[in-house]
Amino acid sequence: MTTPNNPRFVEMSNIIKAYPNPYGDPVKVIDGFNLNIREGEVIGVIGHSGCGKSTVLTMLAGLNPVTAGGIVVDGREICGPGPDRSVVFQAPCLLPWMTAFGNVKLGVDRVYPHVKPQVRRELIEYYLTIVGLGDAMHRYPRELSGGMQQRVGIARAIALKPKVLLLDEPFGRLDSLTRMELQDVILNILDREKLTTVLITHDVDEAIYMCDRVCMMTNGPGARVGNLLTVPFERPRRRSAVVEHPRYYDYRAEVISFLEEQEALKEGKTGNPSPASYSQEESDPTSPQSQIEVGSDPELHTVTTPEEAACIGQAIAEPLTVSR
């Protein structure tokens, strides 16, 4: 049972992820990762390429088992994928023989088999409409632009009514205008649904605009949380108000400074600062130590084979029941 605004809705405790090494000891790509996420919070994870951001997300999704440590969501330890956690990947991976409606319906039917068909249909239509596809829900992926395909992926994830929404660089393949449009679409949905959300991103401005906190990861291997920045802008947010906020560039400079420091470490020497410099307490959103306030556009990939279809990005496990 959750309490309103549960400060430890998601708990990632002392996470280690290691991969076999044929030439010696296993390589720890993640080592001592600690993070607590408040219910309804939007938290961004940023760091240099290869630091393990997507590894953290796939472990949280249950698609990649942890080597040591534990992940708890709403009081339940994560032991595998499930419909309580939905993922939006960089490529939407839509099934080309299904319409937008059919792609969303696939997951909804699996997760809510006991709900009346008419109710499921209304649910699908509702989420396709709020992502801006009310007039395009019966089109096939080949008839949709890249941005429209990603809107289908967003609707597919949110229609499952997950407890946690996981966004793995969902705008990375889009042009800048489409990216801004979809950022606003997702923010509007998050304000409406009050979804706990983890956003993996390389974009500093995106992290500050969309997130309540920004988790900055150190370099890998052995990556962990290096710093946490609280972004106290009220919701709902307007882009112009955020950019014009007197502290906006202070927050931006703090993230950039951390990334530059990590880049210097990568170029100058291997390894990261001692893990003692960051503690489990600091990862707790209620802890005073955590309240830090400082000053190419490739085509989207479409699934074309059954093997690719098996990796559509929706990890659906046991059915759930829902009342309406």
Looking up residue 118, the CATH number of its domain turns out to be: 3.40.50.300
> Considering the domain boundaries, does residue 320 fall inside one?
no
> Considering the domain boundaries, does residue 285 fall inside one?
yes
Q: Is the pLDDT of residue 69 over 70?
A: yes
Q: How many domains is the chain built from?
A: 1
Q: Is the pLDDT of residue 270 over 60?
A: no
The pLDDT assigned to 3 comes to: 46
CB 278, CB 224: distance < 8 Å = yes
Domain extent, residue 148, equals 10-309
> Considering the domain boundaries, does residue 5 fall inside one?
no
> Considering the domain boundaries, does residue 134 fall inside one?
yes
Q: Is the pLDDT of residue 311 over 80?
A: no
Q: Is the pLDDT of residue 267 over 80?
A: yes
> Considering the domain boundaries, does residue 322 fall inside one?
no
Listed residue (203, 261, 198) closest to 227, CA to CA: 261
pLDDT band (50, 70, 90) for residue 6: confident
CB 287, CB 281: distance < 8 Å = yes
Q: Is the pLDDT of residue 281 over 70?
A: no
Q: Is the pLDDT of residue 216 over 80?
A: yes
How many angstroms separate the CA atoms of 243 and 275, rounded?
34
The pLDDT assigned to 305 comes to: 44
The pLDDT assigned to 293 comes to: 43
The pLDDT assigned to 43 comes to: 98
Q: Which residues of 198-217 are buried (b: 16+ CB within 10 A; e: fewer)?
A: bbbbebbebbbbbbbbbbbb
> Considering the domain boundaries, does residue 243 fall inside one?
yes
Condensed to tens digits (0 to 9), the pLDDT of residues 97-155 reads 999 999 999 999 999 999 999 999 999 999 999 999 999 999 999 999 999 999 999 99
pLDDT band (50, 70, 90) for residue 172: confident
The pLDDT assigned to 4 comes to: 53
> Considering the domain boundaries, does residue 219 fall inside one?
yes
CB 95, CB 140: distance < 8 Å = no
> Considering the domain boundaries, does residue 168 fall inside one?
yes
pLDDT band (50, 70, 90) for residue 316: very low
Phi and psi, residue 306, nearest 5°: -60, -35
The rounded mean pLDDT for the chain is 85
Give residue 187's Cα distance to chain centre. Answer: 13
pLDDT band (50, 70, 90) for residue 272: low
